[in-house]
Amino acid sequence: MSKVRKYSFYSLLIFYSILTIVPFLWSLSTSFKPSDEVYQSNLIPDQPTMKAYATVFGKIQPNFQTLFANSLFIACGVVVLHLIFAALAGYAFARLRFPGRDVLFFVVLGCMMIPDQLRLVPMYQLLVKMGLINTGPSNYLAIFLIKAISAADVFLMRQYFLTMPKEMEDAAKIDGAGPFQLFTRVMLPNAAPVLATVAILTFQGTWNDLFWPSIVLQSPSHWTLPFGILQFKGQFSTDWPPIMALVVLSTVPILALYTFGQRYIINVQLASSAKG
Amino acid sequence: MKKAPIGVSLLALALTLSLVPQARAAEAVTTISVSTWGSSPSETSALKDAVATFESRNPSIKVDLIVDNDHGAQMAARFASKTPNDVFYLDAGVAQDWAAQGVLLDLMPSITTAKFNLTKFNASYLKPFQSGAKLFGLPKDANPLVLEGNKDLMATAGITALPKTTSQFASHAKALLAKGITPMCVDADINRLGAYFVAFGGGLASSTNKSLLSSATSKAGLEWAMTNYKSGAFKTPAQLSAGWAGEAFGKAKCAYTMEGAWLDPYLKDSFPDVYDSMIKGPLPTAKQAGSLAFTAAYAIGKDSPHPKEAWTFIEYMTGARGMTVWTSFGVAIPSRSDVATPLGYEVNGTVAKLATTVTTPAFKGWGDVVGAFNNEAKKQIQDKNFNVKKAAAAIIAAAEAAWPKG
Amino acid sequence: MTSTSHRTSRLGRKRSESLVAYGFISIPMALFLFLSVGIFIYAVYISTFDWGIMGPTKNIGLDNYRKAFSDPIFLKAIRNSVKYALLVVPIQSAIGLYLALLVNSKIKGSKFFRSAFYFPSIASSAAITTLFIFLMAPDGVFNGVLRFFGVDTANLFNQGAWLSDSRTALYSIIGLNAWTTSGTMMLFYLANLQTVDSQFAEAAVMDGATRRQVFWYITMPLLKPAHLFVVATGMIGALQLYDQAILAGGADGSPDYSLMTVVLYIYNACFRKFEFGYASAIGVILFVIIFSLTVLQKSLFGSAAWKGDN
């Protein structure tokens, strides 16, 4: 690479990094600002204060701890469901032959195209009939039912299983492994990267989801973080520091998860149909 | 299994025993849920304080207050699941739509039984909640638009008093613009500009809910407002980087704004300096004084689990005593004639009593008219060189096209 | 594999393999049939009723659909959603691909840049949009930067009011989402790039191909699975634009319905007008749009990746 080329290359990278990072630094900075500094353009607060954090941990109802616990519980539950069902179905569609496979897979692909908003009315009616729209703990079940399975995850998992070499399976078959052992002992361990990808993307999607929680969760003690942010924004319109404190606190877990899991995500190989 | 130490067992026994009488007392207490909206922390804490006085007078009822972010949508979800709150705020603008869905409880039977006196309410505040002989909500308060001014900014342009007439406003605007100050922040919203339709002798809707927008007088009011947008004497909150006019006023980006009593606690919370330099008066008059008043009610759902306790709550909160407590915090002014206007809100109270202060229309489909008007108004204003007459005509045409037929 | 002597055992194996397969997919398929297909049919059923909060009142056939296509606001919502999708998907895919190529080359700090580029994708849309509204305000940071470069923002055609001018609001949201989503798209491309054998490219270079030729004739075709995935998920996501629209434009998608999207329209039909039957009808129409676009795009890209490797 020539020097000019190298410099322009790096300045492009750095410019785009600034575009992606600075807005977040602003929200971090705002969360430490006293109210009268919010509208000033300084990035480092003149008089930094923890007041906003004291507010979100103590004063708001429900407080940050409750919102966080709910978000974590719901996101983890949905991750477990997605992993189990996507692995099972993805494996069957990729590695097993059975009558009706293509038709059923087409149904799965079709499900990917059904917008969540189309499900809004009938799903809600159904949940009401099942008695899951209430202020008790069974209200969580409604969220788990809505989000039990994802066609996109099945698709991703299938594509990954398609790329696995047949030899691996054959070797285990010669050793006399049954289909289920084959799945749990050979396929799953080798699918760690795609499992991690599905887990991280599902966690992120559920953690950030605003649409369903705002419709389904009836009691404030069940609310999740994004819903809490919106509620809080409604109540405290322009009291930016606590809102930004919530934004920061709700982004940190996702950031940590991503930092930890990024090597898995990067290793996911999207299936290439060219091979096989 | 390991035996529990005797001390622990005794402690557990003591705890159990001590809980028993309390549990019995708790049986008699009913918790009702009340869902509301709130525009500022002060407003929410004022409501909490008012509710506390209710709880202390009614020890058998505990109130669980919920502040919704999107009250309308959240109530709709609750109605659909047949789990509405016991009591909820009912906005006048949507009251008829909700009533038509059959989700609201008629309060007339309770009112009759309790001999609750309706004549103390301003009739126009009751109207949005009436349907035939039925009444679906009792107005919790009222809130007319008044003119708020920032003394300091006014002084910069040598202005000492609020403009009393539209022509005075015009000369103030000139002086303020010369100093680089935006005279007035007001959204291009029928719920604000409508006040000028009235001031010019027109109105929004007739008593039979027919449109009054295309009358020459209403048109004159709109054209006056549009002239101000064109000259820069009016600016929308968006043009001033604010979420709403109150925020722009609080940030001292405009000398005047026209909001209701909800502005005061908001300013006190977020912009105490501007609050200290705020003065209030009636909106500038043209042919006559003109203002719009808003109201909201307490209502009960058909499927609310505790209608009896809910009524007890409403009876107190909309009664003279409850309303006195609630309005004493200065978020709104009373909707009853037998409750005094709180200190510091005399202007709001006076404007509310004017014959030319009209309540905003409330009929099924009014929301569509508001949406059509506001969208077209904002579209017209974004073109700096718009033609005032043409723009006003386009806005009125859009609003009338959305007016419910029949 | 086709030798006839093994036919019976192969048949037996086939049958047991089928049984195992049905075992694997039974619960997932049951969930799909119940939560998506069943719900879809139920939605179609509801869409033929005048259905309010308290339930159905009467069957009105296709009236809800007729009503939709005669409502100018709905037509505007469709136009906005389609326009948005057709613009944002290519932009976010192209940026995603470009970023992936950048960080995939052996450079110092590629790990840092990769994380930085993905950063906007991880926060919730509520948080990001709130931030964006602040940055794009008439006296916000964006206009500050423009002024720094000598642009007189107050005299721009929209007076610097990017989100509250109907001529720039939708494009601003396109910018916002291209920015946030391109990080995710970068990830998908990166994943695919790791599987692309560099030998092809190296061989091509040896044959005298230019970098440009290598990119267009070797790398791009090899990235076909990623193209397909990125465009399909991008399109489906884009047609469901909602969070950013309601946060920036309110329930009316102001100004002048420029941010009114199909999903926002559904939301309004449900929660502002309680027309559940009508809302379902719009949902069905949205499905038809998504379905046709996906089929169209599938035929454009070829269907290889949708099939198995049997």
CB count in 10 Å sphere of residue B189: 17
Domains recognised in chain B with CATH numbers: 29-143+294-351 (3.40.190.10), 144-293+361-401 (3.40.190.10)
Domains recognised in chain C with CATH numbers: 4-46 (no CATH), 65-306 (1.10.3720.10)
| CATH code of the domain made up of A59-267 | 1.10.3720.10
A218: chain B residues, CB-CB within 8 Å: 78, 81, 83
Rg (CA), chain B: 24
Residue A169: partners with Cβ closer than 8 Å, 6 or more residues away: A95, A182, A186, A187
Residue C203 has pLDDT above 80, yes or no: no
In this predicted model, what pLDDT tens digit does every residue of B22-44 receive, in sequence order? Answer: 444 445 899 999 999 877 777 88
Distance, in Å, from the CA atom of C21 to the CA atom of A101, rounded to the nearest integer, reads 9
pLDDT at residue C88 in the model: 96
B101: chain C residues, CB-CB within 8 Å: 52-54, 274
The mean pLDDT of A152-162, rounded to a whole number, is 88
> What residues of chain C, 244 to 263, have a C-beta less than 8 Å from chain A?
263
State how far residue B41 is from chain A, nearest Cα, in angstroms.
6
Residue C299 has pLDDT above 80, yes or no: no
| Banded model confidence at residue A216, pLDDT cuts 50, 70, 90 | confident
Residues of chain B under the 50 pLDDT cut: 1-5, 7-26
In this predicted model, what pLDDT tens digit does every residue of C143-174 receive, in sequence order? Answer: 888 888 988 887 788 888 888 888 999 999 99
ipTM: 0.84
Q: Could you tell me the maximum CA-CA distance found in chain A, to the nearest angstrom?
A: 73
Answer whether A163 sits within 8 Å of C195, measured CB to CB.
Answer: yes
What is the average pLDDT score of chain B? 90
Distance, in Å, from the CA atom of A158 to the CA atom of C231, rounded to the nearest integer, reads 18
Helix (H) or strand (E) holding A18, with range, is helix A3-31
| Mutant choice from B240, B378, B384, B385 vs C, greatest count of C C-beta within 10 A | B378
Decide if C102 touches A, using CB distance below 8 A.
yes
State how far residue A153 is from chain C, nearest Cα, in angstroms.
11
| Banded model confidence at residue C118, pLDDT cuts 50, 70, 90 | confident
The mean pLDDT of A235-262, rounded to a whole number, is 79
Question: Would you tell me the crossing angle of helices A64-95 and A101-112 to the nearest 10 degrees?
Answer: 150
Classified as helix, coil or strand, B60 is: coil
CB count in 10 Å sphere of residue A116: 16
Fill in the DSSP letter of residue B123.
Answer: H
What is the average pLDDT score of chain C? 84
Residue of A nearest to B74 (CA): A215
Distance, in Å, from the CA atom of B302 to the CA atom of B306, rounded to the nearest integer, reads 10
pLDDT at residue B17 in the model: 45
Residue of A nearest to B39 (CA): A235
What is the average pLDDT score of chain A? 84
Answer whether C267 sits within 8 Å of B241, measured CB to CB.
Answer: no
| Banded model confidence at residue C63, pLDDT cuts 50, 70, 90 | very high
pLDDT at residue B275 in the model: 96
Answer whether C29 sits within 8 Å of A233, measured CB to CB.
Answer: no
Distance, in Å, from the CA atom of B27 to the CA atom of B331, rounded to the nearest integer, reads 35
Answer whether A272 sits within 8 Å of C116, measured CB to CB.
Answer: no
Tell me how many degrees the CA angle B191-B197-B203 measures, rounded to the nearest 5. 85
Percent of chain C whose pLDDT exceeds 70 = 92
| Banded model confidence at residue A42, pLDDT cuts 50, 70, 90 | confident
The residue ranking higher by pLDDT, C232 or A206, is A206
Six token digits for residue C258: 């420029």
pLDDT at residue B207 in the model: 87
Q: How do the domains of chain A map onto residue ranges?
A: 1-49, 59-267
Distance, in Å, from the CA atom of C155 to the CA atom of C91, rounded to the nearest integer, reads 28
List, in sequence order, the alpha helices (H) in B139-250.
151-156, 166-178, 190-199, 216-231, 245-250
pLDDT at residue B215 in the model: 95
The tally of CA atoms less than 13 A away on the side-chain side of residue B135 is: 18
pLDDT at residue C302 in the model: 59
| Banded model confidence at residue C305, pLDDT cuts 50, 70, 90 | very low
Residue C28 has pLDDT above 70, yes or no: yes
Distance, in Å, from the CA atom of B331 to the CA atom of B348, rounded to the nearest integer, reads 11
The residue ranking higher by pLDDT, C254 or C2, is C254
Answer whether B239 sits within 8 Å of C159, measured CB to CB.
Answer: yes
